């Protein structure tokens, strides 16, 4: 199964980056670091067509398995990951884009999280799981990596 790991973190080389690199090697997966791109917040008017979101989302649609990876920030994903997820709404709102969105129904997803705690908070995993199941994707698995707190 061809896999892409879509991830975001304040530190590309930090704990989440390390976990992503290890998983990418294990799965022979491609990686996509969202923070290398411009992704504006969702707008009801869909005014942000000049950023990288649509190109990135269409790239993700080429893979059978998508791993969403983020450190846990106050029970949530990073702001860039949240913006990426929110922008998927554009494909729901526009009848011309809806056929592309339906491709997600054939996809699997996994969750990779990192924090100083033994487990990811339920609020964190629920948001991702419920969102992508709503879009028709099938959960393949979750993985959480605990790291030591940095001084």
Angstrom distance (rounded) from CA 120 to CA 42: 26
Residue 8, C-beta contacts closer than 8 angstroms, at least 6 positions apart: 16, 33, 34, 35, 69, 70, 77, 78, 80, 81, 84
Average pLDDT over residues 71-100: 93
pLDDT of 151: 61
Tens-digit pLDDT profile for residues 27-64? 999 999 999 999 999 988 888 888 999 999 999 999 99
Domains of the chain listed by start with CATH number: 3-146 (3.40.50.360)
Whether residue 80 contacts residue 35, with contact meaning beta carbons closer than 8 Å, is answered with yes
Token output for 92: 């729901």
């Amino acid at each position: 199964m061809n896999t892409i790991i879509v991830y975001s973190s304040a530190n590309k080389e930090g704990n989440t980056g390390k976990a992503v690199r290890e998983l990418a090697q294990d799965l022979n997966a491609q990686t996509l670091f969202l923070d290398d791109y411009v992704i504006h917040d969702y707008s009801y008017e869909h005014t942000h067509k000049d950023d990288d979101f649509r190109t990135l989302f269409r790239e993700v649609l080429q893979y059978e398995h998508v791993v969403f990876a983020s450190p846990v920030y106050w029970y949530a994903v990073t702001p860039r990951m949240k913006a990426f997820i929110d922008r998927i709404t554009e494909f729901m709102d526009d009848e011309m884009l809806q056929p592309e969105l339906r491709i997600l129904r054939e996809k699997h997803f996994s969750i990779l999280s990192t924090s100083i705690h033994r487990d990811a908070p339920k609020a964190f995993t629920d948001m991702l799981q419920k969102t992508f199941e709503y879009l028709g994707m099938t959960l393949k698995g979750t993985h959480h990596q605990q790291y030591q707190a940095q001084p």
